[in-house]
Amino acid sequence: MLLIARSELLQLLRNRAVLVASLLMPVAAAVFFIAQRDVFQRIGSLGYIGAVILMTIAAFTLYATTVTTLAARRQNLFLKRLRSTAAGDRSVLSGLLLPVSLISLLQVVVLLGVFAALTGTPARIPLLLLAVVATFLMMLALGVATAGVTRSPEHAQVTTLPLSLGVIAVANWVAITGTEDLGLLKRLLPGGSATELVVQAWNGGTPVADSLLLLAPTAGWVVVAVALATRMFRWEPRR
């Protein structure tokens, strides 16, 4: 797995298009929110900015790059060749997805760390860590599932757009308007409950037990995405 991960990391770093579109642009967007934090704090809260930073990285760096990577490796038959080695299916997928997962995690840690240094420490750091882990698992699983219907890395620009933009839209909707109205709908949408958990973890003021319940919808999406990935993912080029 580690050899596969090393090879994939080198390929990611050599691909300028992926570096700019999926790695650098999300960071630039997050930096903009941090730089304009006073404006966005008046719209929502500090937790709102933290949630948008997390969801931006998860949607574009993690999810979109996952889909693009798997589609590209399938198209050039690299997936098929790896599957013929001693490595099992899980090891192959883990090795391919480990680099982008670590890069995404590093981005989140650095950006939220800078944000916290400028505005103050989050009220409940353990809850924030849970929200990050849950969000990453959800977006990784959805990425593998989306890769199942993506024919090529170019096609990934189309197949990833609805969910990427949708997650960002849901995050803004939930973080700005709260869940007093249409609460169930907002929490059931992808990223909705995770966004609310980030807001509560950063701002505080909500009982921990109530916040932990917000993990359930995100876990549900992980289960759904894994089921879809198991059914739709292909190891050879789609016709």
Within a domain: 29: yes
Mean pLDDT of the chain: 88
Phi, psi (5° rounding) for residue 180? -65, -40
Within a domain: 180: yes
Within a domain: 68: yes
Read off the pLDDT band of 170 (50, 70, 90): very high
Within a domain: 88: yes
Each residue of 82-139: pLDDT tens digit?
777 766 778 888 888 999 999 999 999 999 999 999 998 999 999 999 999 999 999 9
Within a domain: 237: no
Residue 64 per-residue DSSP state:
I
Percent of the chain with pLDDT over 70: 98
Q: Which domain holds residue 7?
A: 2-232
Which are the contacts of 51, defined by CB distance < 8 A and separation ≥ 6? 171, 174, 175, 194, 195, 198, 199, 202
Within a domain: 162: yes
The closest alpha carbon to 131, from 188, 207, 197, 186, belongs to 197
Within a domain: 238: no
Within a domain: 129: yes
Rounded to the nearest 5 percent, the helix, strand and coil shares of the chain are 80, 0, 20
C-alpha distances in angstroms, 87 versus 65, 82, 83, 98? 22, 7, 7, 15
Are 4 and 91 contacting, i.e. CB atoms less than 8 angstroms apart? yes
Residue 181 per-residue DSSP state:
S
Each residue of 145-162: pLDDT tens digit?
999 899 888 888 899 999
Residue type, 124: R
pTM: 0.92
The structural domain count of the chain equals: 1
Each residue of 177-191: pLDDT tens digit?
988 889 899 999 999
Highest mean pLDDT: which range of 6-20, 25-39, 77-91: 25-39
Read off the pLDDT band of 7 (50, 70, 90): confident
